[in-house]
A and B are shown apart, each in its own frame.
Chain A
Amino acid sequence: MAERVFITGMGMVTAIGDNVAGNLERLRRKESGLGFTDYINTIYKEVLPVGEVKQDNAALFRMAGIPVQAGFSRTTLLGLVAMQEALQQAGISHLQDEPTGFINASTVGGMCDTEKVYFDLINPDKSGEFIQSIHTLDCADCTQRIADTVGFTEHLATISTACSSSANALMFGARMIKAGMYQRMVCGGTEALTRFTLNGFNSLKNVDRQFCRPFDQQRTGLNLGEGAAYLVLESESYAKANNSTILAELTGYCNTNEAFHPTSPSPEGDGAYAAMKNALAMSGRTLEEVQYINVHGTATLNNDISEGRALERLFGTAVPPFSSTKPFTGHTLAAAGAIEAIYAVLAIRNNIIFPNLNFSERMEELQIVPETELKEDVIINNVISNSFGFGGNNASLVISKYEG
């Protein structure tokens, strides 16, 4: 019998807070983190809203507890801030005490820094300190700098499946525990805003000039965000022997491909439907036992139709309360799955459902509407968290209350 997998530590930084408690407070106060960028050099500075972490790199170095040094990209720094909190919350002071793997996720690595020096890198007439950021372009750079700073020496991996990357990182880590390879894994993702990504999504014409409006008839697209989040996963036997504080259980997950289109989901939400259905089946929970769904809900025209139809197909007329938290954080791409997994744990532990901000008009294609108010004192035992990405990559997680 494979081990159950428990969540025993969490750390995060997003546009609405530098730690888990800060995020919860802003979620409760319904305060969005969307605004304009202070750090990206773009002509869209005052045109396209983003969910930016309002700490410059010098502040992030301080928060991560390390001296300012070359080669540490903003992606790495955001990751380190979240990692330090996750380890601290899990009570891990020496990673070597128990062999611990680290599965990270990133969509463009340190592009936020690389793009600033790229034309110098390819110019033989230029030289200087920028040469030290030569490695930041690839996705493993942030993973290894985080690993080396906090002391991971065991299994390392970086996953890049676009917007579902860190959901897949959590899944991979959980499977390694179930396969008996490790008793403890730390999984999540980190993402910094870049001119590259902003222009990428803008060229696809799916960025909203207003604050994003998931599941609203008038929605026109997403807002990008940045942040990082990591969760400590432990096997049941290790968590119990170690007397770990168990925050929640990862009871189900599924990764499936839609094989429909390189960037668009199918209108009937085949991939989303299959991912949710299979993840729920794995968890052993029934449809009626799901009290909240933290949807992918990017507010692009296609995602919300597809995901909404998948919800209606799976749950029929009894779709549980659902909301997208992207209007708080922006779409943080590789970090989104882990950030929203933490929100799922917070929903369970605090008996709350987060509101879907900026909603006013039901979509004509759907019968369902998201939760728009903070709902308190609701019993939440099981949450589905969705992350869907380019390349048809669909990932769903089921996170459940720990009940012994």
Chain B
Amino acid sequence: MKVKCYIQGMAAISPQHTFDGDITTAPFVQTESNRLVCIEPDYKPFIPGNSLRRMTRVLRMGLTTALKCLANSGVATPGPIVTGTGKGSLQDTEKFIKEIEQYKETALNPTPFIQSTYNSVNGLIALQQNGTDYNNTFVHRGFSFENALVDSMMLLQEGASHTLTGSFEEMTEEHFYIKSRIGQWRTAPVGNTRLFEQHLPGTISGEGSAFFVLTAAQTPASKAAISGIKLLYKPSEERLSAVLQELGADADLVISGDNGDSNYARYYELLGEVLPKPAIPFKHLCGEYDTAGSFALWLAAALLDTGKIPGEWFPMVKELPGEFRKVVIYNHFFGEQHTVMVVEKVNG
């Protein structure tokens, strides 16, 4: 899609200090385990206590990020609510599977079943904000958030003034183990600052939630513009190269989804060949997960908005570019879903 939209406000919960404060002053969080875990805020200012008690982790993270995003954006109503999540509430899914077994299918508590439904976060946002507009949830691995973005951009084109668009993802200990059985993670612990020193099979897992209020028209508060997005399913190298060239040729900063995994490193090498430009990674900040692309978009917008790249967050990058106005993000999820987004500076 080549329709332009604007990020009016945003919020993110991630393994970094992204929820409060400013990217230029927040300290970088170094990790030593292969499972990056979110720094969770105090939820009480956002969610009433009796609701909070019932909610599991990813519901709290998703709802709170959405609410903070709305507050940051100064819009009265959320408008259409569109989200992406690869796995929804793993905690609830795991709990309900186990309770069915444990209680032999009798006298079950329905709450984990209800919360395991992929659109439950959307329902909660709508409920708390009286959001009666369009409401949709995409659940397609590395295309989940990006489909939500495509949907939102179509809504803006169709006449919506703004949308609330976001993602939410958690990793549980149990699911981390399950995915370790097919070699998704590094077998030896690797610190996030050393993730790219050597490309080896597997990566580090991550999680997070990011929400954006997107508008059709630019305002003085706009943080950045999204001017291009493309989703490619299992593309050939030729097709991928052509799209990277088409969308990224005039970008002056590349944000790469490289995750240190030698199994699929070829695509990121290709990125460097097609677009030999200043580049920064982001998976050492948030880890690998289905909707990591939303973190990359948050990062791109934050960097464009503040106009500088905090060196402390990128100790592995030798020379950071001083000036940049157009950022291209390329990411893929275990070699299957490839996405390219273009983000541009606005207001100066």
State in angstroms the CA–CA spacing of A325 and B181 once bound together.
43
A284 at the interface (CB under 8 A from B): no
Other-chain contact of B123, A118, A181, A270, A391 (Cβ < 8 Å): A391
With CB as the reference atom, state the residue of chain B lying closest to A394: B135
Indicate if the CB atoms of B135 and A391 lie closer than 8 Å.
yes
Indicate if the CB atoms of A271 and B139 lie closer than 8 Å.
no
CB-CB under 8 A from B147, the residues of chain A are 157
A241 at the interface (CB under 8 A from B): no
Which residues of B from 115 to 158 have beta carbons under 8 Å from A? 116-120, 122-124, 126-127, 129-141, 143, 147, 151, 154, 157-158
Indicate if the CB atoms of B181 and A131 lie closer than 8 Å.
yes
Indicate if the CB atoms of B154 and A134 lie closer than 8 Å.
no
Indicate if the CB atoms of B101 and A119 lie closer than 8 Å.
yes
State in angstroms the CA–CA spacing of A255 and B154 once bound together.
14
A158 at the interface (CB under 8 A from B): yes
Indicate if the CB atoms of B119 and A393 lie closer than 8 Å.
yes
State in angstroms the CA–CA spacing of A119 and B177 once bound together.
12
Indicate if the CB atoms of B131 and A44 lie closer than 8 Å.
no
B223-255 to A contact mask, C-beta < 8 Å, 1/0: 000000001011000000000000000000000
Most buried by A among B86, B120, B135: B135
B174 at the interface (CB under 8 A from A): yes
| A159 with B132, Cβ < 8 A, contacts A115-B97, A119-B101, A391-B123 known | no
| A196 with B100, Cβ < 8 A, contacts A161-B119, A391-B123 known | yes
| A391 with B108, Cβ < 8 A, contacts A139-B140, A153-B233 known | no
Interface of B is mostly: mixed
B45 at the interface (CB under 8 A from A): no
Indicate if the CB atoms of B123 and A131 lie closer than 8 Å.
no
Min Cβ gap B97→A in Å is: 6
Indicate if the CB atoms of A156 and B233 lie closer than 8 Å.
yes
CB-CB under 8 A from A360, the residues of chain B are none
B81 at the interface (CB under 8 A from A): yes
| A134 with B135, Cβ < 8 A, contacts A139-B118, A199-B113, A391-B119 known | no
B interface residues, tally (CB under 8 Å): 58
CB-CB under 8 A from A154, the residues of chain B are 233
B336 at the interface (CB under 8 A from A): yes
CB-CB under 8 A from B113, the residues of chain A are 196, 199-200, 203-204
B289 at the interface (CB under 8 A from A): no
B114 at the interface (CB under 8 A from A): yes
B109 at the interface (CB under 8 A from A): yes
A258 at the interface (CB under 8 A from B): yes
CB-CB under 8 A from B337, the residues of chain A are 156
| A121 with B181, Cβ < 8 A, contacts A143-B140, A153-B233 known | yes
Which residues of A from 111 to 146 have beta carbons under 8 Å from B? 115, 118-119, 121-122, 124, 131, 134, 137-140, 143-144
Interface of A is mostly: mixed
State in angstroms the CA–CA spacing of A179 and B182 once bound together.
40
Min Cβ gap B1→A in Å is: 7
State in angstroms the CA–CA spacing of A36 and B154 once bound together.
44
B273 at the interface (CB under 8 A from A): no
With CB as the reference atom, state the residue of chain A lying closest to B231: A155
A175 at the interface (CB under 8 A from B): yes
Min Cβ gap A71→B in Å is: 12
Min Cβ gap A348→B in Å is: 26
Indicate if the CB atoms of B234 and A390 lie closer than 8 Å.
no
B96 at the interface (CB under 8 A from A): yes
State in angstroms the CA–CA spacing of A107 and B182 once bound together.
24
A373-390 to B contact mask, C-beta < 8 Å, 1/0: 000000000000000011
B53 at the interface (CB under 8 A from A): no
A392 at the interface (CB under 8 A from B): yes
| A160 with B114, Cβ < 8 A, contacts A43-B105, A203-B108, A391-B122 known | no
Other-chain contact of A134, B1, B101, B124, B178 (Cβ < 8 Å): B178
Indicate if the CB atoms of B139 and A159 lie closer than 8 Å.
yes
Indicate if the CB atoms of B140 and A391 lie closer than 8 Å.
no
A41-55 to B contact mask, C-beta < 8 Å, 1/0: 011100000000000
Indicate if the CB atoms of B139 and A257 lie closer than 8 Å.
no
A287 at the interface (CB under 8 A from B): no
Indicate if the CB atoms of A263 and B178 lie closer than 8 Å.
no
B332 at the interface (CB under 8 A from A): no
CB-CB under 8 A from B158, the residues of chain A are 175, 179
CB-CB under 8 A from B233, the residues of chain A are 144, 147, 152-156
State in angstroms the CA–CA spacing of A204 and B135 once bound together.
23
B172-191 to A contact mask, C-beta < 8 Å, 1/0: 00100111011000000000
B104 at the interface (CB under 8 A from A): yes
B87 at the interface (CB under 8 A from A): yes
B110 at the interface (CB under 8 A from A): yes
Indicate if the CB atoms of B132 and A259 lie closer than 8 Å.
yes
Indicate if the CB atoms of B174 and A203 lie closer than 8 Å.
no
CB-CB under 8 A from B106, the residues of chain A are 43
| A159 with B105, Cβ < 8 A, contacts A121-B178, A122-B174, A144-B336 known | no
CB-CB under 8 A from B137, the residues of chain A are 159-161
With CB as the reference atom, state the residue of chain A lying closest to B147: A157
A261 at the interface (CB under 8 A from B): yes
Min Cβ gap A287→B in Å is: 22
Min Cβ gap A158→B in Å is: 4
| A122 with B178, Cβ < 8 A, contacts A199-B105, A256-B133, A392-B126 known | yes
State in angstroms the CA–CA spacing of A95 and B256 once bound together.
32
A166 at the interface (CB under 8 A from B): no
Indicate if the CB atoms of B157 and A390 lie closer than 8 Å.
no
State in angstroms the CA–CA spacing of A276 and B157 once bound together.
23
With CB as the reference atom, state the residue of chain B lying closest to A141: B141
Indicate if the CB atoms of A161 and B135 lie closer than 8 Å.
yes
State in angstroms the CA–CA spacing of A106 and B104 once bound together.
26
Indicate if the CB atoms of B104 and A257 lie closer than 8 Å.
no
With CB as the reference atom, state the residue of chain B lying closest to A157: B147
Which residues of B from 75 to 98 have beta carbons under 8 Å from A? 81, 86-88, 93, 96-97
Apart from A143-B140, A147-B233, A160-B88, list 18 A-B contacts with CB within 8 A: A43-B106, A107-B117, A122-B174, A134-B179, A137-B93, A138-B139, A153-B233, A155-B231, A159-B138, A172-B151, A196-B97, A204-B110, A257-B133, A259-B131, A274-B132, A391-B120, A391-B122, A391-B126
Can you pick out 6 interface pairs between chain A and chain B where the beta carbons lie within 8 Å of each other?
Answer: A161-B122, A176-B154, A196-B96, A259-B126, A390-B117, A392-B127
What are the 3 tightest A-B residue pairs by CB atom distance, in nearest-first order?
A391-B123, A200-B113, A160-B118
